Amino acid sequence: MAKTVLVSGGAGYIGSHVTVELFAAGYEVVVADNMSNCDLTCFNGVKKITGREDIPFYEIDCCDYAAVNRLFDEQKIDAVIHFAAFKAVGESVAEPLMYYRNNLVSFLNILEAAKNHGGCNVLFSSSATVYGEAENLPVTEKTPRLPATSPYGNTKTMCEDILRDTVRATETIKGIALRYFNPIGAHPSALIGELPRGVPNNLVPFITQTAIGKRECLSIFGNDYPTEDGTCLRDYIDIVDLAKAHVAAVSRMLDGRMKEGYEIFNVGTGRPVSVQELVDAFEKVNDLKLNYKIAPRRPGDVVAIWADTTLANEELGWKAERTIEETLASAWAWEKSLAGK
């Protein structure tokens, strides 16, 4: 019998790509999403890519304990991948209570329901934001976490700790936190991808929307940082590679290959890329000119962060494979496909 994975937030950007890769690896998937930050575009795309019209879909809010509990009553869940969370850094500064309530309560509910149904394997979607402005680069999983600079970042640190402590106290719950660097790009089919609401905060959606004419001009936030070209360095990880890391982590849990009850892995490429390099690569690979200007630094941005991926490479047997060019071409193909919709 195929094992079943619950993907909370499964209709969103990362969740939809992970759902596709889980099916490809032979798992069954149940999707839960409250549709607060997406529409059905990606879920429908997942159905098309996988040829599965019958994916169980629960339109529920994970902050509603009764609803989460009912889902666990109705489905036999072997593992949960928890994506259901708010993710806009700036908004979290303006609306801290909304962020703490949503991101913490939904995760607590998932863990509580899992515990009350005989336990579960839980994969939490964490972020490199927990490292803050690290002193030594690249960061390994042992690099100390720094106090978060936003309520959003705080919820990631707190949820990691909630998972760690729950695993410690609950024999039937195992956990993995994946710390993502900067996920970008789209599925090669261009049927699923990132669908930002309103003005995008993240670099690549802003680039593609500028290229297609939805935005007038990209602002590069600062070119006076202490880096080679003066712009910030990040580790941009292809969304399909990122999705495959989830499959590797879930298999490790389900096949009993974990070395500890709670484990953490960085998910990145291990390669730093500057904002300017990314913009140049986008122009080159897609053969177009982007309207951009240098603007002041964005408050809260770290200068540089990239991953040491040795642990994920060795323990998960996973490695980022797509080149930045392929990824940027996929992001552009997705933006163009949206224009046709």
By CB under 6 A, name the binding residues for ligand UDP. 182, 201-203, 206, 218-221, 232, 234, 275, 298, 301
Name beta bridge partners: 273. 234
Closest residue to ligand UDP, Cβ-based?
232
Residue number with CB closer to ligand UDP (160 or 194) = 194
Q: What are the φ/ψ torsions at residue 152 (nearest 5 degrees)?
A: -55, -50
Q: How far is the CB of 252 from ligand UDP (least distance, A)?
A: 26
| C-alpha atoms less than 13 angstroms from C-alpha of 258 in its C-beta half-sphere | 21
How many whole angstroms separate alpha carbon 245 and alpha carbon 136? 24
Tell the burial category of 309 from Cβ atoms under 10 Å away from its Cβ (0-12, 13-18, 19+).
Answer: buried
Residue number with CB closer to ligand UDP (77 or 275) = 275
CB neighbourhood size of 24 (10 A):
13
Q: How far is the CB of 130 from ligand UDP (least distance, A)?
A: 12
Q: How far is the CB of 118 from ligand UDP (least distance, A)?
A: 37
Q: How far is the CB of 236 from ligand UDP (least distance, A)?
A: 8
Q: How far is the CB of 292 from ligand UDP (least distance, A)?
A: 9
Instruction: Give the DSSP letter string of 146-210.
Output: ---SSHHHHHHHHHHHHHHHHHHH-TTEEEEEEEE-EEE---TTSSS----SSS--SHHHHHHHH
Q: How far is the CB of 71 from ligand UDP (least distance, A)?
A: 31
- Tokens in use for 287? 């053969």
Residue number with CB closer to ligand UDP (232 or 247) = 232
- Tokens in use for 102? 């949503």
Residue number with CB closer to ligand UDP (81 or 203) = 203
How many whole angstroms separate alpha carbon 254 and alpha carbon 174? 10
Name beta bridge partners: 28. 4
Residue number with CB closer to ligand UDP (189 or 201) = 201
Residue number with CB closer to ligand UDP (41 or 202) = 202
Give me the helix-helix angle, 324-339 and 203-212, nearest 10°.
Answer: 50
Nearest to 23 by CA among 43, 37, 39: 43
Task: Tell me how far CA of residue 320 lies from CA of 104, 161, 227, 282, 312, in angstroms.
Answer: 30, 27, 24, 19, 10
Residue number with CB closer to ligand UDP (166 or 208) = 208
Q: How far is the CB of 228 from ligand UDP (least distance, A)?
A: 14
Q: Which residues are catalytic?
A: 152
Instruction: Give the DSSP letter string of 224-289.
Output: -SSSSSSS-EE-EEEHHHHHHHHHHHHHHHHTT--SSSEEEEEES-S--EEHHHHHHHHHHHHT--
